[in-house]
Structure 1
Amino acid sequence: MLSFLLHPIINTKLASASPIKLDATDVEEFFDTIINAQIEEINIPNLTVSVVSHGEVIFAKGYGYADYEAMTPVDPEKTLFRIGSTSKLLTWTAIMQLVEQGKVDLDTDINEYLDFEIPNTLEYKGWNSQVAPITIRHLMSHTPGFEDYMTDVFSISEDSLIPLSQYVREQRPMIVFAPGEVTAYSNYGTNLAGYIVEVVSGIPFAQYIEENIYQQLGMENSTFHQPLPNRLADQMSIPYRYVDGEFLKAKFEFFSEPAGSMSSSALDMAKFMLAYLQGGNYKGEKILKEETVQRMFSEQESQHPRLKGIAHGFMTANMNGKEIFQHAGGTMLYGTLLSLIPEEEVGFFISHSGGNHFVNGDIFAAFIDRYFSSEKVAPSAPEPTVNMEQRSKQFVGEYYQNRRSFTTVDAFLSLMMGIIRVSVDDEGYLLANHLGVTNRFVEVEPGVYYNLSEERSDDYWGDFSTIAFGTDSHGRTMLMTDGPMSYSKAAWYESSGFTFLMLISSLLFIIGSLLYWGIKAFVHKKRGTIVLEVSEGSRWASRLATFQGVLTFIFLVNFLGNGQTDPVYGLPKSAFIEPSSFSVILDIIVSYGIVLVAGTVLVFSVIAWVKGYWKLAGKLHYTMFAMFSAALSWIFYYWNVF
């Protein structure tokens, strides 16, 4: 998942290193040292890992406990871990099997294989313009143009499961980019590919994987089924999160099958890796032809020639001069990484619960550095291009992930995660703040910048060594990195700074006004004084403003309550637990109520000046109240809160 991209423009000399032999004994000692250190530092409750080399499993081991209450150690052969999006590799394998059989073509409109229709139109902001058909190649390269959601991806309730055929119809996201133009990681796209497997083969997706991959490779401890089959249920590792000095148990996570529901063991995944490293063959059984495997190891999509991209389902990387084909996976509790080095016939698999996003990548990077090291002379910093300073200024701004929702309330979450902020220093170098770290970039060719940091700087799918700028389907400046992620520049009025300034100011003024009026009324009551409104209109204006304050207060309490991160699952509960009917109705009433009342308050603010309600201070206060109510309503509208 972490990669080091060597650029020909950088003056780097590689010398013959003295790599340590990939010996089973040394590998075990190495992993025992580094993994135990991670377990101690990050409090990882359970972990499993396997390494294959030249047709053999040279290492497979479990760490920690699959069940802390029963003190059951992790068994690399039988203990199952949820491997999240690493499951997608099985889905793409199934697709390529159908390609071999001539039943599927990667460049044909997917509607040719579906029993319902995906529109060939852009559905963003009511444009409804015609676009090219989505193909399986688009799905495979994460360029179908679908928006993506951050909530309702995971669930801890079996009741949330629906058949795949129902899911792809009812949960279809809008098409917000022209297919093939913008790389934006898409779970729905993979689910759609899995459904194509189901439709074309005529059998349920999970059954197809079992009959056409698991059985051939002898993967007896793997399944896509949820909940687990009875024969495997007792082998599932229990996920934990270390909170306040103890391991807290989490529940089984449910999510859509083809994109990430697989459970497997380290040794089963070793068999899968060996099949790919041996031209699709494992112990005489073939899951793919050798030419198909080579095709899957060929890059089919890169956002820019300077960036590492996507092969046929695999993410590509380069570490220590070695071409890596890999796929990471993450659930709320589990993290997984599978990496293949075909030229060395080596595969690496790791999965754990309760850690963080970067643990697996860091361990794999240490593995590569030890056994496939390259002695490098420190590269000299590239010379800035001519007129770098002038070009750099046009890229200043805030960039949001294109893997996000554009048409649902999920869009608001893009203001709080996955943002890259770009600024320019006095010399024209770009300063990119990403994942809490600011790195300095120099332009090496127009629109392409290289990271000058001597330390590896992490991105979700690469090492953030290079960024390139282009244009997305809507004409916005787009920042591109390695892998299936891209970011589009936010307009000033949709930046997180402006939005949160307006949101916080509106909430403070409206609720502050409510509090002021309440205190004022209380004081008058205690003193026995009576305040009479000058007219019936002014009385209604005051009542509506008070009602608006109450609605806004309810919204704030509900927002803060639903937005609190669960310490075990790492997400707000609203992201993985179905809200109650009362909560849904309350949200609708409050949000629509705020918008409707805001319009009426605005009208009364004009009438107050025309008819002379209250003194000057009162009219100014009411007008500002109305303006902040309108600002809050605009935020609700723009970010799809209602």
Structure 2
Amino acid sequence: MWFCHPHQGLARHMSFLVRSLVVLSLWFGFLLACVSPTEAQTVERSSPPTSLGDPQELETFLNGVMTRQLADNHIPGATISIIKDGRILLDKGYGYADIQQGQKVQADRTVFRLGSVSKLFTWTAIMQLVEEGKVDLHADVNVYLKTFRIPATYPQPITIENLLTHTAGFEDGTIGQLVPQIQDLEPLGAWLPKHIPARIFSPGVVTAYSDYGAALAGYIVEQVSGMSFERYIEQHLFQPLGMRQSTFRQPLPDALSGQLSHGYTYSNGAYHTGSFEDIETVPAGALSSTATDMAHFMIAQLQLGGFGHTRILQESTARGMQQQHFTNDSRLPGMTYGFYEQQIDGHHLIGHSGDTTLFYSLLMLLPAPHVGLFVAFNSHGGSMASQNLLQAFMDHYYPAPQTTSTTPPAGFSERARQIEGTYWSTRRNETSYQKVGYDLLSPVTVSASGSGHLVIKGVGSQDINLVEVQPWIFQRTDGFSDTVIFQSSGTEMNMFIGNRPYQAYQKRVWAETPAFHVGLLLLCLVLFLGVDLSALAYLLRAIRRKARLKPKVGAFRSELPRWLGWTVSTLNVIVLIGLFLLFSSNDPYAVQFAMSPALVVVMMLASVSALLTLGVVFYSFLVWRMPSWNRWQRLFFVFQALAGVVFSMDLTFWHLLWLP
């Protein structure tokens, strides 16, 4: 569902000056293993890689990494499984599933919520139906929808393949994906037509990750198979794979509910237990499973559908599922049918990660050496921990040659001027107030930090430091394997991050940047506060003079603009304070998964203020004819009217006015 991912590396080209026959022979050996058409670099390797195959050595290595990650990222517990050549090398639990009861994690018993790793089962189910001839990957999804249709925003229909590669072009949104109580859950057939997202990209043009698309695919499984999604997965995947501790059902069956790990948040030096998360988009993120069960799924995928004496896919179908079917840039990893590709330390991986508000999980496969890694954490600190674990695992068992730094190519300054700026992800919302969370509160910025170096902020929990290795091609310099490519398309600048093939980033024009809009809102707020202070001063003076004042002819007419302006300014200050409190709230149902009553009230106040602002604009012309107003008061009132208009327009841009 909502997630971060490990990092992918750019293959390295090398050249080395011949100093001796011994060095020359080493150079040829490394050349055969590591050459690529990117950049000349000096290559060294201090020691051969550790061979993955000794369970005891593997456990010793993981004990060190996992212990460190749990401590550094404030995670109570984790579960992990490693497979190779069709067998489980290690499955083990770390830390606690229940801190209060002192219950430790057990890899074969403790159940974790897996978030978007669930999608791999949904996509596998689709491929089973494709194999049976019941689903056509290139057919319009509307062919399989009996009670509603996806609107034809573009001439091209959305196909099943678009769903599997996240190229349907849907905007993203989280309203209704999580519900506060189990009884609030609706069947997919009832929920999906009420939450059809806007289509903001033509199908097949660019990746834009979509939970709705995965839920829609799960609903198609129901429609085609004639059974519920949960039952289909149980019969066609869990049972043949021996996954007895896995379910998509909510609440969990009685046999599993007692084995579920608690999910935790960490704040103020303490862990806080979260409640069970009731996920509406079941096929996109409701899987609960153990590390041992997930090892069975990994074995079946790496054995191209085979597991023991049974099959979940034919070999040709599994091969087709694991092949690349879309990429934003041919030089970078892309999307298979469900898996996303990675390139780490020169090795090809496919996998998926997933998170809920309390759990984080990661599944990665190395098809060539038949190796799989699965890990799940019971705290959202697992986002960073999983990246560190995967990179440490690859560096230890499948390391890339060490490289020395190279001189960045000429002309960097000119390219940097075109690159620098604020970007927004293709995984965004454009038609509802959730645009605030995706774009205003989560900006992605790219800035130059020296000769040939860039810094990306806002993608993941840490800054990404890059160095240019070829014009427009950058590589990470902070220990992670990843490549970033910038691509100019006419007046647009696109950014593709190698370890995030399921979305792209597009540079914003200045009028769309968070800095511009925040600046406008702060200027308006200062003026509104000034108006409110002047109103307070006016009232205090009026109270002091009340006994001596006599009503004047036309006083009401001349005072009405002031009262109207004061009302608008006060409402706008209240709206800004309310929005700040709501969007910074820890309550997931304040704005993230629901439009809370408080948000509706704030948006209604904003709408009332917008209507009253029309009156302020009207009076901004009339006050110039009122003798009781001096020049400075009139000018100030004009600025107040202008601020009110700008404020209402900005709220409209972010869809924060209540329009029933």
- Same fold? TM cut 0.5: yes
Structure 1 counterpart SS, 2:434: helix
Shift of residue 584, structure 1, vs aligned partner: 5.1
State the partner residue of 2:248. Answer: 224
| Counterpart contact for 2:610–2:645, Cα < 8 Å | yes
Shift of residue 426, structure 1, vs aligned partner: 8.4
State the partner residue of 1:560. Answer: 580
| Counterpart contact for 2:81–2:291, Cα < 8 Å | yes
Q: Identify the match of residue 9 of structure 1 among 38, 53, 64.
A: 38
Shift of residue 389, structure 1, vs aligned partner: 4.5
State the partner residue of 2:16. Answer: none
Q: Identify the match of residue 623 of structure 1 among 638, 644, 648.
A: 638
Q: Distance in 1 between matches of 2:209 and 2:470?
A: 27
State the partner residue of 1:488. Answer: 506
Structure 2 counterpart SS, 1:344: coil
Alpha carbons of structure 1 residues 628 and 159: separation in structure 2 relative to 1, 3 Å? farther
Alpha carbons of structure 1 residues 585 and 485: separation in structure 2 relative to 1, 3 Å? closer
Q: Does 1:592 align with 2:607?
A: yes
Q: Does 1:175 align with 2:199?
A: yes
Q: Does 1:39 align with 2:84?
A: no
Q: Distance in 1 between matches of 2:256 and 2:143?
A: 37
Shift of residue 388, structure 1, vs aligned partner: 5.3
| Counterpart contact for 2:428–2:439, Cα < 8 Å | no
* Residues 355-407 of structure 1: per-residue CA shift (max 9 Å, x gap): 422211211111111122233332534523xx554454333431111111100
Q: Distance in 1 between matches of 2:469 and 2:87?
A: 45
| Counterpart contact for 1:393–1:428, Cα < 8 Å | no
Q: Distance in 2 between matches of 1:433 and 1:99?
A: 41
State the partner residue of 2:592. Answer: 575
Alpha carbons of structure 1 residues 368 and 274: separation in structure 2 relative to 1, 3 Å? same
Q: Does 1:614 align with 2:640?
A: no
Q: Does 1:335 align with 2:340?
A: no
State the partner residue of 1:125. Answer: none
Q: Does 1:468 align with 2:486?
A: yes
| Counterpart contact for 1:120–1:131, Cα < 8 Å | no
Shift of residue 246, structure 1, vs aligned partner: 2.0
Shift of residue 29, structure 1, vs aligned partner: 1.2
Pairing of 1:301-340 with structure 2 (within 5 A): 301-340=326-365
Structure 1 counterpart SS, 2:644: helix
TM-score, with normalisation over the residues of structure 1?
A: 0.91
Alpha carbons of structure 1 residues 353 and 523: separation in structure 2 relative to 1, 3 Å? farther
Pairing of 1:104-143 with structure 2 (within 5 A): 104-119=135-150, 121-122=152-153, 130-143=154-167
Q: Distance in 2 between matches of 1:245 and 1:153?
A: 30
Q: Distance in 1 between matches of 2:550 and 2:510?
A: 44
Q: Does 1:209 align with 2:209?
A: no
State the partner residue of 2:81. Answer: 50
* Residues 536-557 of structure 1: per-residue CA shift (max 9 Å, x gap): 3322212211221232233133
* Residues 319-367 of structure 1: per-residue CA shift (max 9 Å, x gap): 2222111101011111100001111111100001224222112111111
**Is the deviation greater in 17-26 or in 38-47?**
17-26
Q: Distance in 2 between matches of 1:50 and 1:434?
A: 31
Pairing of 1:267-306 with structure 2 (within 5 A): 267-306=292-331
Alpha carbons of structure 1 residues 585 and 34: separation in structure 2 relative to 1, 3 Å? closer
State the partner residue of 1:245. Answer: 269
Shift of residue 166, structure 1, vs aligned partner: 1.3
| Counterpart contact for 2:70–2:385, Cα < 8 Å | no
Structure 2 counterpart SS, 1:76: coil
| Counterpart contact for 1:306–1:466, Cα < 8 Å | no
Q: Identify the match of residue 76 of structure 1 among 77, 99, 107.
A: 107
Structure 2 counterpart SS, 1:575: coil
Alpha carbons of structure 1 residues 237 and 421: separation in structure 2 relative to 1, 3 Å? same
Q: Distance in 2 between matches of 1:565 and 1:332?
A: 14
Alpha carbons of structure 1 residues 449 and 150: separation in structure 2 relative to 1, 3 Å? farther
Q: Distance in 1 between matches of 2:290 and 2:450?
A: 53
* Residues 148-182 of structure 1: per-residue CA shift (max 9 Å, x gap): 01454434432431111112111110011111112
Aligned residue pairs: how many? Answer: 618
Shift of residue 121, structure 1, vs aligned partner: 3.6
State the partner residue of 1:460. Answer: none
* Residues 29-84 of structure 1: per-residue CA shift (max 9 Å, x gap): 11111111122222211111111111111111111221222211111111110100
Q: Distance in 2 between matches of 1:354 and 1:476?
A: 38
Q: Distance in 2 between matches of 1:433 and 1:36?
A: 28
Q: Distance in 2 between matches of 1:506 and 1:531?
A: 35
Alpha carbons of structure 1 residues 373 and 432: separation in structure 2 relative to 1, 3 Å? closer
Q: Does 1:354 align with 2:354?
A: no
| Counterpart contact for 1:479–1:486, Cα < 8 Å | yes
Structure 1 counterpart SS, 2:641: helix
Aligned partner of 2:494: which letter?
M
Shift of residue 105, structure 1, vs aligned partner: 1.3
Q: Distance in 2 between matches of 1:14 and 1:189?
A: 45
CA RMSD of aligned residues (A): 2.4
Alpha carbons of structure 1 residues 425 and 80: separation in structure 2 relative to 1, 3 Å? closer
Alpha carbons of structure 1 residues 484 and 585: separation in structure 2 relative to 1, 3 Å? closer
User: Unpaired runs of 5+ in structure 1?
Assistant: 123-129, 458-462
Q: Identify the match of residue 478 of structure 2 among 446, 450, 455.
A: 455
Q: Distance in 2 between matches of 1:266 and 1:41?
A: 22
Q: Distance in 2 between matches of 1:430 and 1:376?
A: 21
Alpha carbons of structure 1 residues 414 and 548: separation in structure 2 relative to 1, 3 Å? same
Alpha carbons of structure 1 residues 319 and 467: separation in structure 2 relative to 1, 3 Å? same
State the partner residue of 2:132. Answer: 101
State the partner residue of 2:409. Answer: 383
Aligned partner of 2:278: which letter?
F
Aligned partner of 2:514: which letter?
S
State the partner residue of 1:543. Answer: 563
State the partner residue of 1:363. Answer: 389
State the partner residue of 1:127. Answer: none
| Counterpart contact for 2:39–2:470, Cα < 8 Å | no
**Is the deviation greater in 600-609 or in 502-511?**
502-511
Structure 1 counterpart SS, 2:636: helix
Q: Identify the match of residue 164 of structure 1 among 185, 188, 196.
A: 188
Aligned partner of 2:497: which letter?
T
Pairing of 1:519-538 with structure 2 (within 5 A): 519-526=537-544, 528=546, 530=549, 535-538=555-558
**Is the deviation greater in 49-58 or in 371-380?**
371-380
Q: Distance in 2 between matches of 1:422 and 1:43?
A: 29
* Residues 382-436 of structure 1: per-residue CA shift (max 9 Å, x gap): 523xx55445433343111111110000112233454332345786865544446
State the partner residue of 1:266. Answer: 291
Structure 1 counterpart SS, 2:633: helix
| Counterpart contact for 1:238–1:249, Cα < 8 Å | yes
**Is the deviation greater in 18-27 or in 246-255?**
18-27
Alpha carbons of structure 1 residues 532 and 271: separation in structure 2 relative to 1, 3 Å? farther
Q: Distance in 2 between matches of 1:624 and 1:132?
A: 48
Aligned partner of 1:442: which letter?
E
* Residues 181-209 of structure 1: per-residue CA shift (max 9 Å, x gap): 12111111111111111111111111111
Q: Distance in 1 between matches of 2:465 and 2:97?
A: 39
Structure 1 counterpart SS, 2:362: strand
Shift of residue 443, structure 1, vs aligned partner: 7.0
Q: Distance in 2 between matches of 1:218 and 1:426?
A: 54
State the partner residue of 2:23. Answer: none
Alpha carbons of structure 1 residues 18 and 430: separation in structure 2 relative to 1, 3 Å? closer
| Counterpart contact for 1:10–1:382, Cα < 8 Å | no
Q: Distance in 2 between matches of 1:431 and 1:27?
A: 35
Aligned partner of 1:550: which letter?
T
Q: Distance in 1 between matches of 2:348 and 2:525?
A: 52
Aligned partner of 1:554: which letter?
I
* Residues 464-521 of structure 1: per-residue CA shift (max 9 Å, x gap): 522232549xx74332222112122222222111100111211221133113211331
Aligned partner of 2:8: which letter?
S
Alpha carbons of structure 1 residues 237 and 56: separation in structure 2 relative to 1, 3 Å? same
